[in-house]
Structure 1
Amino acid sequence: MTNVTIMADSASDLTKDYFTEYGMEMVSLTVHLEDKDYKDGIDITPKNVFDAMREGKSPKTSQVSPQTFKSIFTEYAKSNQTLIYLAFSSELSGTYQTAKMMEQEVKEDYPDADISIIDTKCASIGYGLVVLNAARLAKEGKSKEEIMDDAKKRALHMEHIFTVDDLEYLKRGGRVSKTAAFVGTLLNIKPILHVEDGKLIPLEKMRGTKKLLGRMVELMEERGGNFENQVIGISHGDDLERAEALAKMIKDKFGVKEVVIEFVGSAIGAHSGPGTLALFFLNKSFQ
Structure 2
Amino acid sequence: MEKPIVSIILRTKNEACALEKVLESIFKQRLDLTFEVIVIDSGSTDATLDIARRFKTRIYEIDSTEFSFGFSLNFGIGKAEGGIVICLSGHCIPVDTQWMKRLVAPLLADVDIAATFGRQEPIKGLNPLEEIMLLNQFSPDVYGEIKVVFSNANCAIRKQVLVSHPFDEVAVAAEDFIWARTLPDGLGIQYVHDASVYHSHPLSLEYWSKRFYRDAFFREYIKGVYDLEWQGMIPGYDASGLFVKLLKQLEWGVRGISDMVLYMTKNRYFKQMLLVPVFVALFHFNNWKGGRDGKRKYGGS
Question: Is the TM-score greater than 0.5?
Answer: no
Using CA pairs below 8 Å that are at least 6 residues apart, which structure has the higher relative contact order? 1
Larger % of strand: which?
1
- Calculate the TM-score normalised by the size of structure 1: 0.30
More helix by share: 2
TM-score by length of 2: 0.29
